[in-house]
Structure 1
Amino acid sequence: MRKTIIALFFLLTALLPQLAQARRYTVVISLDGYRWDYPQWYDTPFINFMAEHGVKAGLIPSFPSKTFPNHYTMATGLYPDHHGIVANEFFDTKTGDRFALSDAKQKLDPRYYGGEPVWNTAARQGKRVAVFYWPGSDVKVNGRYPDVYYAYDRKPRLTLDERADGIISQLSLPEKKRPDLIMAYMEQPDGNGHKYGPQSKLTRGAVLYVDSLLQSLFNRMQKLPYHADINLVVLSDHGMAWVPGDHAVKLLPHLKPEWYTAVSGSVPANIYAKEGCKDSIYNALKNVDHISVWKKEDVPAYLHYGSNSRVGDVVVSPDLGYVAYDKPIIAGGTHGFDPQLLDMHALFRAIGPAFSHTEIPHFRNTDIYELICHLVGITPAPNDGDLNEIKEILKP
């Protein structure tokens, strides 16, 4: 009998960490276009609370620092060059099709989406996931959707408050139906940042609004009987920079129409050359002011960009505060610039049972996928991230 009791004791001791992990839930909220330094500019009591009691850091976006490529990077751990969503819009040289967020058919076509998004990784390993509008979550990647998801183009779209309500509803489900992972996307403060610039009263208002929304959500989470088992991560995809109305760099006057098939995007611009014309395009643009120009094979290695067939033969990256655009522009906020620029860095905060109270330097957003996998207790698919780079944010 004594041996049996001892054996049971050691068995329970071994299982306790697994049982504790099985009771944990992870909520990841993305605030589009939330600069890492908005809490220094504006009054953000809840974001400050997270820093005071959890993890304070910033995220270095992947190139280009655009919404769709970076959200799918955080979902897969792959650079845009590796998962295939190389910009918010691009030309597919293999099919001749154009991918654009305004084209619902192209945007929802699974062939564009490489890698394994975390909701699929979780489902493959027996976990439940609910997703509110995270870019790519309404696409049938690898033959499946998240357990709960919302089609972004279906109107009326849930308001930000309704998404917060949805998170609480999912967390309040019976244990067997309750998701292990909830991911939610919020369009603000990006919307106001684009229209009015990052330093404006209306953008400040959007920052204050999402802070209040998060505070309310957290307060409601604290009323759940298992609130101590919830990890909350609040992050962003990129920053925002001011672009004056006279800072458009025109490309087409320097190019002959017979040199290119398509010019796509503005920060950066991908130029798809006709046969034998790549050098002509490069030579015509290389000395133009306020832009960096590379042949795709010469894009600097730190940008991890240029191996994918959807990247233009020539890549034009404007200087901060400029756009490569051939029509008149209206002054406002823009992103997509070199991720090394602090104006492009994004927010990261985390609080919950898995996290230490610490502050670390800004880190690559390719690490987010492995972090989520760790929190949910699943084995990640191959990716470009490395959890070891941020292990100090986690409790032993």
Structure 2
Amino acid sequence: MWLKWWLAFFVALSYFLTSIRGHSLHPKLLLISFDGFRYDYLDLAARRNANISGFLKIWDSGFRAQWVENEFTTRTGPSHFSIVTGRHEESHGIIDNVFFDPELNKTFFFSSNLSMRESYWFDVGAEPIWVTNQRQGHKSGVIFWPGSTTPIKGIVPTAAYPVYNSSIPLKTRIDDVVRWLTEENMNLALLYYHEPDSQGHKTGPNSPELLKTIEELNEAIEYLLRKIKENKVLSLSLNIILTSDHGMIEVSRNDVIILENYLDEKMYFSPGPSVRVLWGLWPVGGYTQKNIIEKLSGKHEHLHVYRKEDVPPRLFYSASSRIAPVVVYPDPGWLIAKSTKDILTMGMVIMDMTHSVRRCAPSFWPWGQDSLVYPEIELFLPSR
């Protein structure tokens, strides 16, 4: 039962609006991501008699896979870039929401518009789908998808929002992607929205406020479906994939591993929040990878400690120069804090569900064949 409870960091739904067989129109694709949409939110909403009619229209249509196999670091930046590049984190270079690059001697911050505009963070070999699409002579429209605000291989989306602004309403974003998709040769659009992740972190995954957010997202889905139905071209040609990057859990302060109990902070550098799941440790002050490993290995039954080169191959998290020499993460349901003071005011903390168990929630596409599991990096290839 414990394992089953952890089988869902990721939701992917799809709605094939109508068959395009027999029509001369070329198919178009709209990919939407609702950040932090946990696998059981729709079930939770249904049990509480919330309105999920739009989601149900999607749920009842198209192709379904039981699970999607997500990437190791299912944070917003890495996961979204894996979806659009079809590459693991170690290959596309966005290894976390915050990370240090020793070759650049700089730190990437997902929340920084400056970082998001610098090509050297994203343009390290992997090619997002909008770049591939445009190299084939088509047009792409992208709203706030990680990597879309900077040139990659010298290409930027045909249409895009230039600077991240979470205050732009979801319906406004929908209006824009629908308008873009009606333009000549515009066959691809991607839309990112920060809910229900933002609300979940504020009030928790089981709160009435979160349920209200799910209903607001449902209203937006209904609005989108009406807009498409009213458009003759899109009603005959558009596919939709609705997806997410991770789920969310509440973690007690009793289930937090305190790093300072085993490791002096002067021995390492690790950019990022002081309480989190995945830690990459860079030795400093004359200390070495071996010194840090010796301090941490075997010290806590719920703590996993690896040399970078020894990270299990199934996680695909060792090849990038941006991955720290020491990789540390806990068992599911646990967190790691830098020091005791970092959890003194913590009651119940809301954290993204990440790492370790790599199977995720029920998933749907408008094409393909039934299957038990598909990798997240093959979101666009379920018909393999």
Which TM-score bucket, shorter chain as reference? 0.7 to 0.9
1:340 matched to which residue of 2? 357
* Range with bigger deviation, 123-132 or 106-115: 106-115
Unaligned 5+ segments in structure 1 are 1-16, 372-386
1:140-159 matches, cutoff 5 A: 140-153=151-164, 155=165, 157-159=167-169
Q: 1:131 aligns with which of 142, 146, 150?
A: 142
Give the residue type in structure 1 aligned to 2:243: L
Give the residue type in structure 1 aligned to 2:225: F
Matched residue SS, 1:391: coil
2:6 matched to which residue of 1? none
1:190 aligns with 2:197: yes
Q: How many residue pairs end up in the alignment?
A: 347
Counterpart contact for 2:249–2:353, Cα < 8 Å = no
1:201 matched to which residue of 2? 208
2:320 matched to which residue of 1? 308
Matched residue SS, 2:130: helix
1:104 aligns with 2:113: yes
Distance (Å, rounded) in 2 between the aligned partners of 1:250 and 1:151: 40
Q: CA deviation at 1:67?
A: 0.5
1:30 aligns with 2:33: yes
Counterpart contact for 1:193–1:332, Cα < 8 Å = no
2:311 matched to which residue of 1? 299
Matched residue SS, 2:73: coil
Q: 1:164 aligns with which of 146, 155, 174?
A: 174
The two structures have a TM-score, normalised by structure 1, of 0.80
Deviations 1:43-98 (A, max 9, x none): 33322222222123343221111110010011100111110000000111122211
1:64 matched to which residue of 2? 73
Q: CA deviation at 1:204?
A: 1.8
Q: 1:116 aligns with which of 119, 127, 135?
A: 127
Distance (Å, rounded) in 2 between the aligned partners of 1:18 and 1:192: 41
Q: 1:81 aligns with which of 72, 75, 90?
A: 90
Give the residue type in structure 2 aligned to 1:348: S
Q: CA deviation at 1:33?
A: 0.9
Distance 1:82 1:220, change over 3 A: same
1:375 matched to which residue of 2? none
Bigger strand fraction: 2
Bigger helix fraction: 1
Q: CA deviation at 1:365?
A: 0.8
Distance (Å, rounded) in 2 between the aligned partners of 1:118 and 1:347: 23
Counterpart contact for 2:82–2:88, Cα < 8 Å = yes
* Range with bigger deviation, 133-142 or 98-107: 98-107
Matched residue SS, 1:315: strand
Distance (Å, rounded) in 1 between the aligned partners of 2:54 and 2:356: 26
Deviations 1:185-237 (A, max 9, x none): 11111112222222222222222221221122112201111202111111111
Q: 2:188 aligns with which of 181, 190, 193?
A: 181
Distance 1:152 1:250, change over 3 A: farther
Distance (Å, rounded) in 2 between the aligned partners of 1:106 and 1:128: 25
Sequence identity (%): 25
Counterpart contact for 1:34–1:346, Cα < 8 Å = no
